[in-house]
Structure formats: structure tokens, C-alpha cells
């Protein structure tokens, strides 16, 4: 393994640990809030969403922190937040006779985990780029995304198993231990240099990033509707095997990142994004327009394949838009568009599902990704020298 690959692997291991922590309570927390504490399904949903709200709010803080104090500091603080979230979750589990207090404590834990996710997600990418150089940006973001979804894929079933052993107390212990392991793993590693130079204010960074962030958000809507509504779509047709569609989405996502990440360096972020937006659009239209289970599986696979390269392809451009001393702020601002899109997709797609049909969210996803493809066409026409933003592979 080359030295640069090892450096990237070390940093994305932090990402995998972070999203393992994110995944731990994902499948069990709503049931605990609804069943054990006796709150409504709406409150249970808020308990899950609170983490994402905290992630969005913290993006403005985390990016500049990674720039001024160094990404390693952001990583360490993020793992400390995971540890503290575990303590809060454990504390809530000991308050079953005081549901309002238990809910308040667990919401605090969700906020801490949201801040931790933001710090770790932004910090890991900035740390890796600082260690291997900006020419490796696409590979860093691609590997980081694989670690993200891999961590969640492992964390969710682990959380379910632990919940069966010891309810939320066991999940809290696992969160605490994950944060501790992350701290012990990251602490001895070398920090990347902090660039001492005048920095752009976050607002200026956000404005530079915005066109690419908006396009990323349009691609993320497709991911959001599949993850949230494919099971309901299957149920509405009395089909079995929704997990096959979800699994193929994830498998195709990983395959695209492994096989085609170098195409970004060869062809440029906008051209690659245009092709992969088109693939995602095709997948969404297939699910919506062909009411057969095979079409849902094939469409989910195509959508996962198409969504996979959008983040790293546009991310390569985003990092190039700002001076190196603003790299963390650019990554944080860019990632924030995914957070906002996923938060907004649930309610909008839910309204479409309840008022139109369970297929309607996938038309919403198709129109969103098609709009993203059209944005790529406009940006390509406005920037005919996109090739200058490619780097040697």
C-alpha cells in the first residue's frame, strides 16, 4: 500500500468509527421513545431528527475550527462528543419512571452526537487532504463516503443486537466505547499543518460553494426518498424483499466509488457529475414508472450508482474554489447542503406519498436529479475551462 493510501485509510477509519456511532441508535431509538417512554411517533421522529438539525447548525462552527485549530482537533472534539452522547444515552436509560426527564437527556445526547458527526465528517476529509495533498481530494472524499455508509451499515444492526441484550443502556455503553476508541486511535497520529494566513469569512465561502452545494442537494434528494420510502413502496404493492433494493443501492454506490473515482481526475468534476446525475435520474424514473419489483431493484441500483460520484466530483471543484486556509470551511459548507436536503426530503416526500401515491416520491427524486443534471450543463457552458480543475491521476 502506498504512503498516501495509508494516510487516507487512517483518516477514513475515524469516519467509519464516527458513523458506526451514528448507526448504533438509529434503528432502536424511535421504538424506545415511543414504546418505553410512551411518546407519540412524532416525538420519536423528532428524537432522530434532532441529530441532523444539530449537524446542520454546527457546520458553520466546525469548518472554521478545522481551519484555525487543525482538523485533528476537530476529530478529537468529535470523538469526545460521541463519548458524551453515550453517557447521556446511558443516563436516559436509568430514568424510565421519569419520561420527560429521560427524553430531555436523550435529546441532549442526540445533539451531542450531531455535533460529533459534523466535526468528524468535516475534520476527517480536511485532515486527509492536508496529509496527502489536494490532488488526492476526489479519492479522499470517495473513500470517506464508503466509510460513512459502511459505518452506518455495521452500526445499525449492532445497535439492534445490543438493545436486545441491555436496552438503551447497552447502546449508550457502545456509544461511549466507540468515542473512547476513536480518541485513542486519533490521538497519537500526526496533525496536518495549520496554514497561517488571512481567511475568507464563512459567508463568503458559502457563496462560492453554493451552486455546487445546491446541485449536491438535488442528488441527495434521490438518496433520501429511496432510503425512507422504498420499504413503504414495496408494502403498497404487497411485495417482499425491500431489503434487496436497499442492499443493491449500497452495493452499487460502493462499486461506483471504487471503480470510477479516477474518472473525476481525468474528465473533470462537472462532466462526471453530469453523467452520474443522468444515471441517478434513470434509476428514479424506473422505480416510479415501472410498477414491478424487478424495476424497483434495478432502479435502486442505478440510483445508488449515480449518486455515488456526485459528492466527490463536485467536491473536487469546491476545494479548488477557496484558498487552502479555508479548506475546512468549504468542506463543511458543501456537506451542509446534503444535511439540509435529507432533512427536507422526508416531509415533502411524505406529503406526496400520502396525498398522491407511494410512487410519487420517486418522481420527486427523478425531477430533482434531472434538475441537477441541467445545472451541470449550465455550469459547463459557463466554465468551458473545467479541464483546468482536473488533476493528474
- The secondary structure of 168-203 as a DSSP string is HHHHHHHHHHHHHHHHHHHTTSPPPPPP-S----HH
Grid coordinates representing 111 are 445533539
Sign of the four-CA dihedral 247, 245, 341, 157: negative
Give the pLDDT confidence of 299-335 residue by residue, as tens digits.
Answer: 999 999 999 999 989 988 888 888 887 877 888 889 8
Helix (H) or strand (E) holding 204: helix 202-236
Residue in 283, 290, 293 with CA at minimum distance from that of residue 238: 293
Helix axes 3-23, 137-186, angle to 10 degrees: 70
Tell me: pLDDT of 387 over 50.
Answer: no
Query: Which percentage of the chain shows pLDDT scores above 90?
Result: 33
Least confident of 67-71, 255-259, 286-290: 67-71
Per DSSP, the residues of 259-283 read HHTHHHHHH-HHHHHHHHHHHHHHH
* DSSP tag of 238: T
pLDDT at 386: 44
Distance of CA 193 to the CA centre of its chain: 26
- Give the pLDDT band of residue 391 (cuts 50, 70, 90): very low
Average pLDDT over residues 243-247: 81
Q: Specify the higher pLDDT residue, 149 or 86.
A: 86
CATH 1.20.1250.20 residue ranges for the chain: 3-186, 202-389
Distance of CA 69 to the CA centre of its chain: 24
CATH number of 3-186: 1.20.1250.20
Helix (H) or strand (E) holding 251: helix 242-260
pLDDT at 41: 64
Determine the length of the chain.
393
Q: Average pLDDT over the chain, rounded to whole?
A: 85
Say if CB 18 and CB 115 are below 8 A apart. Answer: no
pLDDT at 197: 64
Correct CATH for 202-389 of 2.40.10.220, 3.10.20.30, 1.20.1250.20, 1.10.10.10: 1.20.1250.20
Give the pLDDT confidence of 157-206 residue by residue, as tens digits.
Answer: 888 899 889 888 999 999 999 999 999 999 998 877 776 767 778 788 88
Amino acid at each position: 500500500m502506498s504512503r498516501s493510501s495509508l494516510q487516507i485509510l487512517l483518516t477514513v477509519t475515524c469516519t467509519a468509527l464516527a458513523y458506526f456511532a451514528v448507526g448504533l441508535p438509529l434503528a432502536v431509538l424511535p421504538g424506545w421513545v415511543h414504546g418505553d417512554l410512551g411518546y407519540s411517533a412524532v416525538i420519536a421522529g423528532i428524537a432522530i431528527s434532532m441529530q441532523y438539525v444539530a449537524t446542520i447548525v454546527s457546520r458553520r462552527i466546525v469548518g472554521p475550527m478545522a481551519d484555525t485549530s487543525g482538523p485533528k482537533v476537530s476529530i478529537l472534539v468529535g470523538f469526545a462528543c460521541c463519548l458524551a452522547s453515550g453517557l447521556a444515552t446511558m443516563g436516559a436509560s436509568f430514568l424510565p419512571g421519569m419520561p420527560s426527564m429521560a427524553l430531555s437527556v436523550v435529546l441532549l445526547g442526540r445533539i451531542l452526537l450531531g455535533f460529533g458527526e459534523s466535526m468528524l465528517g468535516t475534520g476527517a476529509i480536511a485532515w486527509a487532504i492536508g496529509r496527502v495533498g489536494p490532488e488526492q481530494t476526489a479519492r479522499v472524499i470517495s473513500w470517506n463516503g464508503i466509510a460513512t455508509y459502511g459505518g452506518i451499515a455495521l452500526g445499525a444492526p449492532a445497535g439492534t443486537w445490543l438493545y436486545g441484550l441491555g436496552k438503551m443502556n447497552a447502546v449508550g455503553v457502545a456509544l461511549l466505547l466507540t468515542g473512547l476508541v476513536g480518541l485513542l486511535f486519533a490521538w497519537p497520529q500526526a496533525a496536518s499543518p495549520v496554514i497561517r494566513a488571512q481567511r475568507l469569512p464563512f459567508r463568503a465561502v458559502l457563496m462560492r460553494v453554493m451552486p455546487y452545494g445546491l446541485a449536491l442537494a438535488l442528488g441527495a434528494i434521490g438518496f433520501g426518498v429511496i432510503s425512507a420510502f422504498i420499504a413503504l413502496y414495496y408494502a403498497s404493492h404487497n411485495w417482499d424483499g425491500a431489503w434487496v433494493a436497499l442492499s443493491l443501492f449500497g452495493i452499487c454506490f460502493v462499486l461506483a466509488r471504487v471503480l470510477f473515482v479516477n474518472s473525476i481526475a481525468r474528465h473533470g468534476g462537472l462532466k462526471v457529475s453530469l453523467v452520474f446525475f443522468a444515471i441517478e435520474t434513470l434509476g428514479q424514473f424506473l422505480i416510479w414508472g415501472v410498477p414491478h419489483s424487478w424495476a424497483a431493484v434495478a432502479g435502486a441500483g442505478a440510483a445508488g450508482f449515480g449518486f455515488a460520484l456526485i459528492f466527490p466530483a463536485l467536491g473536487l471543484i469546491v476545494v479548488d474554489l477557496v484558498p487552502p486556509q479555508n479548506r475546512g470551511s468549504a468542506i463543511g459548507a458543501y456537506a451542509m447542503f446534503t444535511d439540509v436536503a435529507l432533512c427536507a426530503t422526508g416531509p415533502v416526500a411524505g406529503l406526496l406519498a400520502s396525498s398522491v401515491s407511494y410512487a410519487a416520491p420517486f418522481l420527486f427524486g427523478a425531477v430533482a436529479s434531472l434538475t441537477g443534471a441541467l445545472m451541470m450543463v449550465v455550469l459547463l457552458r459557463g466554465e468551458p475551462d473545467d479541464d483546468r480543475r482536473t488533476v493528474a491521476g
